[in-house]
Structure 1
């Protein structure tokens, strides 16, 4: 896990109100997490943080042969709104340690929240992968996390984030990546944590209210070697925080 001491100032932005409120929007400068080593390029000084979401799902890979290298083919995840529990933001906010441990806790405490074939451990139904919208409740002693949306790859292989609970949408491409910290949660298959990503707008005209996404504090998700997984498709559980910005 990433220690709070390593969560240095990688970026500062003022968070925008995600929904109408009775009073004025509270100003805050959330800190984008740092690996403690190499870091992603931060958002611009004028960027607005729209939402922080906790994602839980699978990373998909294919192996063409038992001696091949796994090829990433996409991901599926359900997203839960974690904005209001960011340390210092609200009365229900968590401590820094508790907040940063959420991906680890969720990965080990709950099954992957996707519709799965009866004979599958982790893969999702290819025609209807997402279940009915449900909030994340009863995770340790934490408050309920509202359903926020879905992460998936479209028919052209473009990563998509549909935050339908708030009307936000992002169509993105990879704009940068760094390895997860060495002490990051290796996941239920002990394969390691997927990289942290900076995702920029795809310029397809499909984004709405979000054009920059960060995947940070990842847990699990790396592929098994093809010699272990065998040929064909493999799905690996993962969790992560996603930070959504508008620049």
Structure 2
């Protein structure tokens, strides 16, 4: 039976019209590989933890993944405030009269789960969880607000949401850290070997976003890294006018 991620019952009134999450049939080989890697890592870390002192959760000692060097560095004076695993959909549109054209991006919707301490103490487990996240169905449950592989301990608490407030403005609401209205500053292709999506889709690019109004609010920059899936097909051939592609990623939030 396919395992389940338990999400909150609703994002917010402002995104009530967002597309519903699709129910893809997973690529079985990647499904098994991603889940096996995650649970094997989790088991080995748990075993090793029995013989070491408790890890210290300190974001001041955490650096972006090496592949993020293709993006501009965080601006001087900013500190890492929060890291979240995002799980949701990238949204696209197609012009029925132009099937040979590429789909157009039309925002995204995702629920954010707190991964700050996990990345700070076990970055390899965090990356594996992000990859495994794509292979759990999106559903509701009494375990509301937590990222929970079935029959395991909750991996992360819900920390916020992400959607587009208009066609070009990504919004992140991270409860205990603040709100962020951004714009794209830079992009880099996902690294070679990045995990594909549920139908074999490539991983969406890594991004650096900057605040649309610099200096306003506590959050100033957001990075999208460790992406899994989410890319649209090369053309609109055979695609509906609007569709969604599931993805998972890490979002790193920097602020004052």
TM-score in terms of structure 2 length: 0.69
User: Following TM superposition, by how much is the alpha carbon of 1:134 offset from its aligned partner in structure 2, in angstroms?
Assistant: 1.2
Q: Check if 1:32 corresponds to 2:64.
A: yes
| Alpha-carbon spacing, 1:139–1:53, altered in 2? closer, same or farther (3 Å) | farther
Matched, 1:51 2:82: yes
**Deviation for aligned residue 1:215:** 0.1
* Residue of 93, 99, 103 corresponding to 2:126: 99
Q: In structure 2, list runs of 5 or more residues that go unmatched.
A: 1-32, 34-56
Runs of 4+ with >4 A deviation: 139-143
Map 1:3-152 → 2, pairs under 5 A: 26=58, 28-35=60-67, 39-64=70-95, 65-88=98-121, 94=122, 96-108=123-135, 110-112=136-138, 134-138=145-149, 141=152, 143-152=154-163
Aligned residues: 197
Q: Distance in 2 between matches of 1:189 and 1:232?
A: 19
1:185-240 C-alpha deviation (Å, 9 max, x unpaired): 111121200000000011188x5320100000000000023344424011000000
Q: Distance between the aligned counterparts of 1:48 and 1:141, measured in 2? A: 33
Please give the alpha-carbon distance, in whole angstroms, between the structure 1 residues aligned to 2:144 and 2:212.
27
Other-structure match for 1:169? 179
Match of 2:164 among 141, 146, 153: 153
Partner residue in 1 for 2:198: 188
Question: What CA distance in whole angstroms lies between the structure 1 residues aligned with 2:234 and 2:168?
Answer: 23
Structure 1: which 5+ residue stretches go unaligned? 2-24, 89-93, 115-131
Give CA-to-partner distance per residue, 1:118-159, whole Å, 9 cap, x none. xxxxxxxxxxxxxx9611123685643111111000135311
TM-score, normalized by length of structure 1?
Answer: 0.72
Choose from 219, 243, 254 the match for 1:245. 254
Q: d(CA) in 1 for partners of 2:127 and 2:199?
A: 21
Residues 62 and 163 of structure 1, relative CA distance in 2, 3 Å threshold? same
Aligned-CA RMSD value = 2.6
Q: Distance in 2 between matches of 1:31 and 1:111?
A: 30
Q: Which protein is richer in helix relative to its size?
A: 2
